[in-house]
Amino acid sequence: MVEPKRENWQRFWEEKERSKSVYPTVSDIVGELIRICPDLQKKRVLEVGCGTGRDGIELAEREAEVFLLDFAKSGLALSHYFSAEKGVMTHRVMGDARRTPFPDESFDILFHQGLLEHFRDPRPLLRENFRLLKKGGILLVDVPQTFHPYTLMKHVLLFFGRWFAGWEREFTPQSLKRVIEREGFQMIRSYGYWMRPGLAYRVLREFLQFFKISLPMYPTFLSGIFKFFYRLIDRVSHHQIFHYTSIAIGLVATKNNMGSR
């Protein structure tokens, strides 16, 4: 069975450790959760596969009790760095996302970004998510979207064994909905987001770093054009057809009282 390899992610986060050049998540994870649950005070939240933990840390700033889970020591070290930088308290736990050390119904909110796509069989992860959520709890799952140039680039690198994560898949809005609902969750809403800055700029920035040429994280040239383009995207992003053009899609769901199947 193809599974995420700890050594890949250990090396990935070691290279990013204490780096200001780690882009935040493409999707507005915090905004999507606040839309469903505006009052986060004292809510128990678990970010699974946390990496930098930035989204969980922002929720902690809003007075949620946040747990950050990852199986890579370097990822947890990075989340510790960002927690300390923000001056907030989070609980960091090393463990397997499919076999966590928490009791049943431990959390009000559980989310993961960039995780589900690394499992050929997503059911064990989602069943563990279901077990950990309280009745009526909120699940947010964020994954790459199929119909995007990122998918083509990724599969070329996968073919040549050059993809940093080892193996990865992607989802359409409908396939994500099916896999989530199959495990007993009830969909609340879906969303899609474009990269800011775009994929081409990020690839160029990574490429130039091999030649010791540094570009800013966010381009300052042509900024007016970019701002106009992003405003246009914001105006259409609520239409479901837009989700088939975005790089990242997500689904917010609740724990169905009927139980996981």
On whether the CB atoms of residues 74 and 17 are closer than 8 A, the answer is yes
| pLDDT band of 79, cuts 50, 70, 90 | confident
- For β-strands 44-48 and 65-70, DSSP reports them as parallel
User: Which domains are present in the chain?
Assistant: 6-255 (3.40.50.150)
User: Tokens 């964020």 label which residue?
Assistant: 142
pLDDT at residue 196, rounded to an integer:
78
Instruction: Report phi then psi at 111, rounded to 5.
Output: -145, 155
pLDDT at residue 261, rounded to an integer:
47
Between 65-69, 133-137, 141-145, 217-221, the lowest mean confidence (pLDDT) is in 217-221
